[in-house]
Structure 1
Amino acid sequence: MKAIALTSFGIPEALEELEVPVPAITDTQVLVEMRASSINPADVLFRSGAILEGPVADKFADQFQLPFVLGNEVAGIVTEVGGKVRHFKPGDRVMGMIPRGSYMDYVAVEEDLLAVIPESLSFEEAGAAPAVALPAWQALFEHGHLQPGQRILIQAGAGGVGHAAVQLAKQHGAYVIATARDYNHDFVKRLGADEVIDYTKTDFATQITEPVDFVLDAAMDPATFGTGLPGDIGRKNYSVIKDGGTYISVVAFALNEYPKVRGINAYFFQARANRTDFESIVRQMQENKLKIHIHEAYPFTAQGLLQAYRKSDEPTKRGKIIISKNLG
């Protein structure tokens, strides 16, 4: 089968098409014929080699063996199930996540990391959803316990996690403030934001006149990536949160060690993939309460992935960039 693998770190041209065996599944796994996948910030950091130079490099040291296959979202068709699998059967349309390696014709996935998708959802929509909708869902409802009527600031409202969070928070009855570049303001307002602030032209902290209950930070602050601690954006986030409020970051990985400020419940978390939450996300999508915006789609070829990663480096993208087998 075909896999598109990273053969060296740096430029997207280092992605090459390889022939590899179809993975064998265990009793608890499902074999999925991949029909769509996507690019996420973690893929970009691995592909560029930036993560090799960061403070979390040691955590991933045993994974840096080239060639390796990027991608952690998958949507497709079940072709085989393990002996202990109870929730899926061959022919099911599914979406889900794996730790890494979805840029392949067939992917072995643990049963609990998948959910069935209806015919009304395309593979492209489903393949774009897991890695952005899941952290948005868990941050807002499982960790942050967002309540109707609360005021929330969502950083990077036009990005993957941000644009999903804006929709989910608004549907839940929150007052949503989001940051985005000026050319994304109309887009973010259509998602449901009550206010949108251009963080590149003004200090968002001076524009928020009433403290917020909750900040969800999905902005890639370079200072934060280097240390894991709140940078300029993070420090300003604290300044707009009311005493005893909530500050959740999906980027500041050392936030949990940061000194407590004014009783604010601040922490970093990584999304935990599971079938129950994926099923909740699928329902939201099926009921048109959540729509994952596809900025652009590229074919499942080495050249297609090269173009997709080039596009992912551009600041003008919205939502997700996907890889689809439906494109020639």
Structure 2
Amino acid sequence: MNHRTSHLRLGVLALLWGASFLLIKLALTAMSPAQVAFTRIALGAAVLVALCAVRGLRMRLDRRLLPHVVVAGFFASALPWVLLGIGERTVDSGLAGAVNATTPLWTLLFGYVLGARGGFSPRMLGGLAVGFGGVLLILAPWQGASAGTGVLACLAAAASYGVGYVHIGRKLTGTGAPAPVLAALQLVAAAGLAAVVLPLEGLPAVRFDAVALLAVAVLGVFGTGVGFALNYRLIADEGATVASTVTYLMPVVSVLLGWLVLGERLSWRVLLGIALVLAGVALTRNRTARDGAAGAPADRVPDGAPRVAPAHPYTDLATNHPMK
């Protein structure tokens, strides 16, 4: 196992997923939120279906799993990506990336609310308090600042990821189905769901803008499709916990790219809020899972295709799921 190669993959993955917020911002200059979401989903699904074909994986599942794949496609792909598009109409791409970093916190919280896990340890409660304290610092209501629909849409997207990942952890992880097939079918289902939303926007005309159209193409093919392949390989080679390091890099990449490319303002308050959110995520991580899974290869399914089987199912799944 070449750790240097894995570190390179991790860096590329952080760049692809961290840049997704910038790419959404650019794509919105020519397309509506639903159009951006549908296009990236369709392109990503095409890449994943091709990946399954190359690996000889059949696109079939137990019929009992298909409804759960559709639910995952809605909450972990279609809904959050439409919401991110709505949010980034008025919110800086860097701020959207910072808010998205709360996803593991929402996943842990909904895992408890939906009865998917037991009670919280003091460490986890502290992590939730610190993480959501960071969100409060970013929003700064004491300064008379209004969160606005944009920030709320981004926050709702992160919460939607949380619901989706808990559902995936409960109903799809550990079923024996190869992860590429699950992810490909999830995106196919999400494409159908996103297509339903398109007429609701009145089918606005797509404005021809080379930069915007290139941005959505890169977002779909590389940010979604290739990003999944890199993440999948990282989990297989290094384990879920090592691969989840990307969670800590993504908001840094999104904020820096927003500042460098779009001239977005860097606020000490937002930077400190990001730091608190990531500190909260770190605290909620199961210490045993972190120590035991680091460097351990993912479990293997009977046909030889590795699948995600993290020791700490919801926080690790939230940070390693390919649908970022």
TM range (shorter): under 0.3
The structure showing larger relative contact order (alpha-carbon pairs under 8 Å, at least 6 residues apart) is: 2
- State the TM-score, normalizing by the size of structure 2: 0.25
